[in-house]
Structure 1
Amino acid sequence: MLKFDKKTTELLDNAYQGADITRRRQASFHALDPRPGETIVDVGCGNGLLTAELARAVGPEGCVIGVDPSEDMVAAGKDRCRDYECVEFRNGVADHLPVADSSADKAVSVQVFEYIDDIPAALSDVMRCLKPGGRLVVGDLHFGSFIWASDDPKRMAEIKASWDKHFVSGTVPEQLPSLLSSEGHIIEAIVPITLVDHVLKPDGIAIMMMHLMKQFAIEMEHVEPEVAQAWFDEQLSLADEGRFFFSITHFVIVARKVA
């Protein structure tokens, strides 16, 4: 799996403020519909961008609990949210959250479940933290929707196959509705957000993924460094020639805990 060290955290911190990922994050924010005074758990809070937005929404009478296993990510989140007294950060993982039973009004997780070994256990634990009738919002990419243009389909397939090994599951959105329903919880909405571009934007999700995918493929020795670099350089060339194309769909699943 990809290691979210200091260097990776800095890369993500920059890209996550771009238009593509902001749009994705805001979709989860609106689905969650945070209200003043609520207690909200941000599962896999990362660098705290959504955590800070939730803190502003719940106000000083509310509480936002950011949970993440990465010390570098938590450090970045603490720095971003240092002015919000209603925010707490805790080290922990999604299937063993350091949150009391039935203590939260809502919980949200953005692109975290694809890294979880036991998704049913994680769903069970986050539902444990919610009050009866509490809302859970999970946003994740479906890698079956991944389209990326290349003049070298074989090399592109190798890089994508490498990237498939950085997560546990690339089909989280199709799994969650049935898993939640089987436990009696209510699926209130499923919202698709397709990120598509024919321009390689400096603040877009594609350039971020290019850096991460190249880094991962080289570090894991899935391809030779020159192959990964050639793939990266080809995307830059395609962009210069006006032939760049990238698309992937992110899904936001909204569920309500049974009373």
Structure 2
Amino acid sequence: MVEGDGTSSLEFDPAVSRQIEAMYTTPDVVEQRRIVRTALALRPGDRVLDVGVGPGLLAAEMAAEVGPEGRVCGVDISDSMLAIAGTRADVPDGPRVELEQASAARLPYGAESFDVVVSTQVFEYVDDVAGALAEIRRVLRPAGRVLLLDTDWGSIVWRSGDDPRMTRVMKAFEEHLQDPHLPRTLGESLDKAGFTRTHLQVVPLLNAGFDYRTYSAGLIDIVSTFVPGRAGITPEEAEAWADDLRSQADSYFFSLNRYLFVASAL
């Protein structure tokens, strides 16, 4: 799922990949996938590419929607993510999801191979957004559609007992991204790549009250593992930051905005 030089990116090794899979099964992200599928409005027989397929949950759901006459392919650069996605590749009443190891910058498909390309939580990791969009446009048929969903990490609201520490921790966590504020420029990038924007939607994540079965509870584990040694954050500070959040119980509050863009390759 991660594009970049590998020096500051979050490494999607087997342990992190399992953490991501658990987060993607929470009600927060289940609802996000429903919103994505509604915006896509897939039809039986559609040919779909999922760039950054991750644990394969969305790809499997899309395969059920396009039916046996359709096609769903997924690419990812992470071996461990592809292994998890492979456990969901066989879809009842749908095509087998075809999985390939590849990056957004070099898609292993011919021109005009797909009716739809979808990429969720990937482009904020991409170091060459223009090049990746050109690749998507190449593999899309004329009038094909692309859906991109990414987070603006400047939108985060996370209650903390130590606001200065929270600011430092989140600044350190942004180091795992190529652009933590990508949605602010993504529309312009789509325009320059020759797409016509047809739909824009905010997809909020909101957790009020601490619950381990939420997206943000899983995010605590990932952040606290990543940030030590960055922006002056010590392991002890990262642990104290995580303990503070988990101890808030009913006072806990987390909100984050993701932004969904649909565009046509006219």
Normalising by the smaller structure, the TM-score range is over 0.9
Counterpart check, 1:74 vs 2:82: yes
Identify the match of residue 4 of structure 1 among 12, 20, 32: 12
Counterparts of 2:147 and 2:141, CA distance in 1: 14
Partner of 2:228: 218
Q: Cα RMSD (Å) of the superposition?
A: 1.4
Partner secondary structure for residue 221 of structure 2: helix
Unaligned runs of 5+ in 2: 1-8
Counterpart check, 1:87 vs 2:97: yes
- Pairwise mapping of residues 164-203 of structure 1 onto structure 2 (< 5 A)? 164-203=174-213
C-alpha contact 1:103 1:130 (8 A) present in aligned 2: yes
Q: 1:128-159 CA distances to partner (integer Å, 9 max, x unpaired)?
A: 11000000000111112111111211111111
TM superposition shift of 1:201: 2.2
Counterparts of 1:184 and 1:78, CA distance in 2: 33
Which amino acid in 1 is paired with 2:187? P
Partner of 1:137: 147
C-alpha contact 1:114 1:172 (8 A) present in aligned 2: yes
Counterparts of 2:176 and 2:169, CA distance in 1: 11
C-alpha contact 1:28 1:138 (8 A) present in aligned 2: no
TM superposition shift of 1:127: 1.1
Identify the match of residue 157 of structure 1 among 167, 174, 197: 167
Counterparts of 1:190 and 1:39, CA distance in 2: 23
Q: When the two structures are aligned, how many residues end up with a matched partner? A: 256
Counterparts of 1:85 and 1:220, CA distance in 2: 44
C-alpha contact 2:146 2:264 (8 A) present in aligned 1: yes
Q: 1:16-49 CA distances to partner (integer Å, 9 max, x unpaired)?
A: 1111111112221111111111110000000100
Identify the match of residue 219 of structure 2 among 209, 230, 235: 209
Partner of 1:118: 128
Counterparts of 1:193 and 1:144, CA distance in 2: 14
Partner secondary structure for residue 179 of structure 1: helix
Counterparts of 1:56 and 1:128, CA distance in 2: 26
TM-score (norm 1): 0.95
Identify the match of residue 71 of structure 2 among 63, 70, 86: 63
Counterparts of 2:223 and 2:229, CA distance in 1: 10
Tell me which moved more, 57-66 or 197-206. 197-206
Counterparts of 2:112 and 2:84, CA distance in 1: 28
Which amino acid in 2 is paired with 1:36? P
TM superposition shift of 1:197: 2.1
C-alpha contact 1:117 1:168 (8 A) present in aligned 2: yes
Unaligned runs of 5+ in 1: none
Sequence identity of aligned pairs in percent?
Answer: 33
Change (3 A) 1:70 1:222: farther
TM superposition shift of 1:221: 8.0
Counterparts of 2:191 and 2:56, CA distance in 1: 30
Identify the match of residue 49 of structure 2 among 23, 41, 45: 41
Counterparts of 2:120 and 2:232, CA distance in 1: 27
Partner secondary structure for residue 12 of structure 2: coil
Change (3 A) 1:219 1:62: farther
Which amino acid in 1 is paired with 2:210? L
TM-score (norm 2): 0.92
Q: 1:195-245 CA distances to partner (integer Å, 9 max, x unpaired)?
A: 122212222111111000000013758521111000000001122xx3211
